[in-house]
Structures are given as C-alpha cells and as structure tokens.
Amino acid sequence: MGLVDEVRAELNRLNLEEHRSQQGIWATPKQMKHLTKLFAKLFAKAASLNQVAVADFSRCVNDIAPLDSSISKLAEKLYVESKNG
C-alpha cells in the first residue's frame, strides 16, 4: 500500500467524512494532530510521489482542514515540492 493510500485509509478509519457531514464541522484537534503526523511522513517522501497523487491527497486534506491549519500548510508545501521534484 502506498503512503497516500495509507493516509486515505487512516482518514476512513477516523470517519472524518462521516463526522464532518453529520456535524458540519472540521476534524477534531486530536484527529488533526494525528493526520498532521501522517502528513509529515508523506511530506518527507514528496520527491518520490507523482504530482497528481499529491494534488489528489491535498484536496482530501482541504476538505477537512481549515486553510490556516498546519496540515493544510503542509499540503501546500508538499504540492510545491512535488512540482519541483
């Protein structure tokens, strides 16, 4: 399983989409902290990821995270890194 798939599986495990749709709110701070750790791992491997996968994953993050959150900022950095890599 690729790293992007691993993080998607974790998103599913945490039921963030269901939580968001039912409650109309963002992920909980605990979930965001956990996702930020996973995202940092993904960011460390950005050079080996293709740009389409990174953009797709970044959209998933932007669906659940405020734009000024640390995970959204990492998403932007990851996308830039994948374009330059």
**Over pLDDT 70: what percentage of the chain?**
67
What pLDDT, on the 0 to 100 scale, is given for residue 3? Answer: 65
Domain ranges of the chain: 3-84
What pLDDT, on the 0 to 100 scale, is given for residue 21? Answer: 60
Q: 23 vs 39, which has greater pLDDT?
A: 39
Of residues 80, 16, 15, the one with CA closest to residue 54:
80
What is the pLDDT of the chain when averaged over all its residues? 72
What pLDDT, on the 0 to 100 scale, is given for residue 59? Answer: 79
27: left (phi over 0), alpha (psi -120 to 50) or beta: beta
Gyration radius of the chain's alpha carbons: 12
63 contacts: CB under 8 Å, gap ≥ 6: 17, 20
Q: Is the pTM here over 0.75, yes or no?
A: no
